[in-house]
A and B are shown apart, each in its own frame.
Chain A
Amino acid sequence: MILLNPADYDAIRLSLKVAFAALAISLPFGFAAAYLMTFMHFRGKMLLEVLVNMPLTLPPVVIGYFLLLLLGQKGWLGSLLLETAGIRLIFTWKAAVIASAVVGFPLLVRSIRIGMESIDRQIIQAARTLGARWYDILFTVILPLSLRGILAGSSLMFARSLGEFGATIIVAGNIPGVTQTIPLAIYEYAGSPTGESTALYLCLVAVFISLIVLSLHETVGKKLTRQI
């Protein structure tokens, strides 16, 4: 029988915590970015699209290194946070959250945007002629009709966060019980002569979590499809 040690359970808990936190902080910004890119015409829209999608095309290690430069003790944001609020991000679980949020953000935005683009523009026009202002339309028409896209994006981002490795190891390190997530733990066990079975067990845990996420996505997605 394979037994996991307490640090492995910590890695599982931390992976879930990081994925949920990354999703929670990204959702409002992802929704706003998708809304701007779908419904608004403004100067610099192309630049916004490039910036949002850039993490998809960059190696995660590169993203991690840029985050290290930004959030490190000598980085402008890192030093600012440390001096003004005494907050240190690098090599904490919060850095893992930021890394996951940055890497998964384009997946979230793209899915929400696909959902928004599928909304019939005449429905929005109808709402305008029925007396609704833009923020009213946002909450009563666009948000409910984008729920499937939000769900799809959330599932993708959550899954991506669970698997995030490259950026996380750079900004959060691989400290058991503190910043070690499932992929980082697997990496450590895979390099150890006695860790092969534990690595496999953690892989199975990752597969199990992914199955739950996908099942939830399918179930809720079908329910939403029936409603809309």
Chain B
Amino acid sequence: MEIRARIEKSFGDFTLFADFEVMGDRIGIFGRSGSGKSTLVGLLAGLDQPDRGEIFLDGECVFSSSKGINVPAHRRRVGMVFQQPALFPHLSVKANLLYGFRRCAAPHRRLDDLELVETSLKLEGLLKRGVNNLSGGEKQRVALGRAVLANPRLLVMDEPLSALDDDLKFQIIPYIRSVSEEFHIPYLFISHSLTEMRLLTDEVIVLEGGQVERQTSTEMLARELMGTGLAGYMNA
């Protein structure tokens, strides 16, 4: 996946200016709280509109203020997993999983995909349950499966582990890895935790104060932060 963006968005006193070009299947966006990570991914997914600029996903222009292009979120094929699972509370687990599948599934996709998601994310025993009766980890697995089944070209995960305790985090991480490996879906993983970044990403964009501070490999970033003693802070 290649992502090219040069966009600007202002909210009150805060301005996000993101200018980057990144290629890879396991990309991270790293930064402290308030650095603009969630704003950036909202713009990439089409949930919000930049004030100006351009966004290209795999060479396709999905937003251009100068050309008047703005592919809406429902056609942009960028899946989202939020910090809170944002499941549909009135639907069962199975209905949640099928929500995007029914609307976005490409012709070549069959119900086998549903079975594969169920087994990969260990959701078989949960399908008939209401989502309010699930644990935090189960909810996040359903949210992940629901996004995968909508056939996204890019899966954006906006701090999906930050609301979970450490045990649950390490249970979910293998599932996220399997998404990339079994379904061949590139992902953009957003976090302020260096540990999560090291486990889940290869390439990372560092945001600071609404700007791209640098773009580097995750291992390089980890070595630098550990050298400066900032790693513990960024794991908070």
> Which A residues have a C-beta under 8 Å from some C-beta of B?
120, 122-123, 125-133, 136, 140-141, 144-145, 227-228
B90 pairs with A129, CB closer than 8 A: no
**Closest chain B residue to A124, Cβ basis:** B86
- In the complex, which of the residues B73, B132, B150 has the most CB atoms of chain A within 10 Å of its own CB atom? B73
Given contacts A122-B82, A125-B47, A125-B80, contact A131 B88 (CB under 8 A): no
A129 pairs with B103, CB closer than 8 A: no
Given contacts A128-B73, A129-B73, A130-B150, contact A122 B100 (CB under 8 A): no
Cβ of B175 within 8 Å of any chain A Cβ, yes or no, is: no
The 0/1 profile, CB within 8 Å of A marked 1, for residues 121-141 of chain B is 000000000101000000000
A130 pairs with B86, CB closer than 8 A: no
Which one of B86, B89, B143 lies within 8 Å of A125 (CB-CB)?
B86
**Tally of A-B residue pairs with Cβ under 8 A?**
72
CA distance A136 to B84 in the complex (A): 22
B99 pairs with A130, CB closer than 8 A: yes
Within B38-68, which residues are at the interface with A (CB < 8 Å)? 42, 45-47
CA distance A141 to B100 in the complex (A): 13
Query: Which B residues are in CB contact (< 8 Å) with A145?
Result: 89-90
Cβ of B234 within 8 Å of any chain A Cβ, yes or no, is: no
Given contacts A129-B78, A129-B100, 11 further A-B contacts (CB under 8 A): A125-B47, A125-B86, A126-B88, A126-B143, A128-B46, A129-B73, A129-B79, A130-B104, A130-B147, A130-B150, A228-B89
A130 pairs with B47, CB closer than 8 A: no
**Closest chain B residue to A143, Cβ basis:** B90
**Closest chain B residue to A134, Cβ basis:** B74
Cβ of B9 within 8 Å of any chain A Cβ, yes or no, is: no
Q: Closest 7 interchain pairs by CB? A: A130-B100, A131-B103, A131-B104, A122-B86, A128-B73, A126-B86, A129-B80
Cβ of B146 within 8 Å of any chain A Cβ, yes or no, is: yes
B90 pairs with A130, CB closer than 8 A: no
Distance in Å from the Cβ of A225 to the closest Cβ of chain B? Answer: 11
Query: Which B residues are in CB contact (< 8 Å) with A131?
Result: 74-75, 100, 103-104, 150
**Closest chain B residue to A137, Cβ basis:** B74
Query: Which B residues are in CB contact (< 8 Å) with A127?
Result: 88, 99
Query: Which B residues are in CB contact (< 8 Å) with A130?
Result: 74, 79, 99-100, 103-104, 146-147, 150
Distance in Å from the Cβ of B107 to the closest Cβ of chain A? Answer: 15
CA distance A228 to B89 in the complex (A): 5
Distance in Å from the Cβ of A53 to the closest Cβ of chain B? Answer: 29
Distance in Å from the Cβ of B102 to the closest Cβ of chain A? Answer: 8
**Closest chain B residue to A129, Cβ basis:** B80
A133 pairs with B74, CB closer than 8 A: yes
Given contacts A122-B82, A136-B103, contact A129 B147 (CB under 8 A): yes
**Closest chain B residue to A144, Cβ basis:** B90
**Closest chain B residue to A128, Cβ basis:** B73
Which one of B45, B87, B88, B130 lies within 8 Å of A129 (CB-CB)?
B45
Distance in Å from the Cβ of A88 to the closest Cβ of chain B? Answer: 45
